Amino acid sequence: MSFDTLGLSADLLRAVREQGYTIPTPIQQNAIPLILSGKDVMAGAQTGTGKTAGFTLPMLQRLSENRSEGSRRPVRALVLTPTRELAAQVADSVETYGRHLPLRSAVIFGGVKINPQIQALRRGVDILIATPGRLLDHASQGTLDLSQIEVFVLDEADRMLDMGFIHDIRKVLALLPKNGERQNLLFSATFSKEIKQLADRLLNAPELIEVARRNTAAELIKQVVHPVDKKRKREMLSHMIGSRNWQQVLVFTRTKHGANRLAQQLEKDGLRAAAIHGNKSQGARTRALSGFKSGDVRVLVATDIAARGLDIDQLPHVVNYELPNVPEDYVHRIGRTGRAGKEGEAISLVCVDEHKLLADIERLLKRKIPRETIEGYKPDPTIKAEPIQRGGKTQGQSQSRQKPRGGAKNRASNSKSVQSKGHAKKRSTSESRNGTDSNPPRKHVHRTSGNKPQVNTQRRRSGSVRGRERPALLGNYPED
């Protein structure tokens, strides 16, 4: 089967050919005709099999066939993603495949200035790609109208729930036309029971597409586990990169601090490395990723925020320096390699502390991952397993998902909390800003015979400070 048989327009087929593609992937073969027919779709496929093009191509065609009238272009398609990187990737696909169509697109996410985004929206946009937090910022400020959405795409839906976006998703849905007046598409590499429950409420008689068993890794990825002591992981990683002459390696850690520290250590070992995670500014993340793609950066160290949305052509090696706490994240991590029919290698450095995490991953995959011990790095059998720190708790304690930080209820709760604390909070803020106590306490010294002076501290009552609370429009969201 070729793209010519899927019902795509000549302009879209031209754009596809310019990218060197001739044969659609299984997910594209199944999804494109259904989306073109206007049906709601819930689609799952292995990471790296072309899910993005699977909804981008038919979405572009449907919008181009029904162009909006008038000088002002309303937003007619909304693609919601959990992370900035994934939003940028989808935006690139929309621009690439829609280059021969008279459609405009824009991408909005946190971590960058909001004014250029406002200006782009004012000029008129047909297709909007966004992360939930910044999208709701625009809606709160009245710079965005979603009442004319014709196609709504929820990309990486399971990750949305993992990151606590369920309340934000509900608030976004309230801004859209009624369910029967729009087409809804859910795409993800994995689908949990919770996602299917969400789909039951969101979709109208959807077509379910699963081109492979759920929660599986691509068959072209060679997976291997290298047992090693925790304190020797960095040493062995440098040895493997150097001795095997790896020129492009994506390495995953569990924490942001761990990513920074590992990147610095690899630099000291003579390997050009950079870190990418949620605490980095968007500019720093973009520069690191650009350098990695161009070859200026040999090793990119990332947290799981980069497991979704990183699209690197022919990436040969992915290394799990630390195994993820959530087994499904392993699938998305190693899915950065072995993409578009190319082979890849996924290596996991596993210490004794991570044996339970490895067992959880293998249970999800329903297969054992081969073990290979590197000569000179055989683990010390006398070392006992220690608990793995996880978000202030240790592995084996409560493993609840991250609580939503951007939902409507939380914002209201935060606002009430700020107001209830009142002047005390403002006073402490002023003090911390000045570096000194703005109202120094009076000291009354009472001397008693035979004892040292006793000092009583009494603070002068400061006058009340009246002021407006800053609206929580540009707060930190999980994708920021």
Cα–Cα distance, 200 to 186 (Å, whole number): 11
Residue 85 to residue 83: CA distance in whole angstroms: 5
How far, in Å, CA of 437 to CA of 446, rounded? 24
User: Mean pLDDT, 10 residues at a time, over the chain (480 residues)?
Assistant: 93 95 91 96 77 94 80 89 89 96 94 93 95 95 95 87 84 92 86 77 88 61 95 96 94 94 96 90 86 93 74 85 91 79 88 96 93 96 87 42 43 44 41 38 44 44 36 39
36: nearest Cα among 207, 213, 260: 207
In this structure, what token pair is assigned to residue 402? Answer: 């991250």
Per-residue buried b or exposed e for 295-332, using 16+ beta carbons within 10 Å of the residue's own CB: eebbbbbbbbbbbbbbbbeebbbbbbbbbbbbbbbbbb
SS3 of the chain: the string is: CCHHHHCCCHHHHHHHHHCCCCCCCHHHHHHHHHHHCCCCEEEECCCCCCHHHHHHHHHHHHHHHCCCCCCCCCCCEEEECCCHHHHHHHHHHHHHHCCCCCCCEEEECCCCCCHHHHHHHHHCCCEEEECHHHHHHHHHHCCCCCCCCCEEEEECHHHHHHCCCHHHHHHHHHHCCCHHHCEEEEEECCCCHHHHHHHHHHCCCCEEEECCCCCCCCCCEEEEEEECCHHHHHHHHHHHHHHCCCCCEEEECCCHHHHHHHHHHHHHCCCCEEEECCCCCHHHHHHHHHHHHHCCCCEEEECHHHCCCCCCCCCCEEEECCCCCCHHHHHHHHCCCCCCCCCEEEEEEECHHHHHHHHHHHHHHCCCCCECCCCCCCCCCCCCCCCCEECCEEECECCCCCCCCCCHHHHHHHHHHHHHHHHHHHHHHHHHHHCCCCCCCEEEEECCCCCCCEEEEECCCCCCCCCCCCCCCCCCCCCC
Domain ranges of the chain: 3-210, 221-382
- So what's the pLDDT on residue 262? 97
Cβ atoms 354, 323 nearer than 8 A: yes
Nearest alpha carbon to residue 405 among 417, 414, 416, 397: 414
Residue 160 is predicted with a pLDDT of: 81
Alpha carbon 384 to its chain's center: 34
Paired tokens of 74: 């309303």
Q: Are 188 and 116 in contact (CB under 8 A)?
A: no
- Tell me the residue length of the chain: 480
CATH superfamily of this structure's domain 3-210: P-loop containing nucleotide triphosphate hydrolases (3.40.50.300)
| C-alpha closest to that of 323 among 298, 347, 295, 290 | 347
Residue 353: per-residue pLDDT = 96
User: What are the pLDDT digits (tens) for 159-195?
Assistant: 787 777 888 999 999 999 988 899 999 987 667 777 7
- Give the tens place of pLDDT for each residue, 290-335: 899 889 999 999 998 755 666 677 789 999 999 999 898 898 888 8
Return the pLDDT at 6: 95
For residue 458, the model assigns a pLDDT of: 44
Whether the domain at 3-210 and the domain at 221-382 fall into the same CATH topology: yes
Are 388 and 394 spatial neighbours (Cβ–Cβ below 8 Å)?
Answer: yes
Q: How far is CA 335 from CA 188, 226, 297, in A?
A: 12, 19, 20
* pTM across the whole model: 0.63
**Topology of domain 221-382, per CATH?**
Rossmann fold (3.40.50)
Contacts 24+ apart (CB under 8 A), 369-372: 369/223, 369/224, 369/225, 370/223, 370/224, 370/225, 371/224, 371/225, 371/226, 371/227, 372/224, 372/225, 372/226
In single-letter form, the type of residue at position 216 comes to: T
What are the backbone angles phi and psi of residue 254, rounded to the nearest 5°? -85, -30
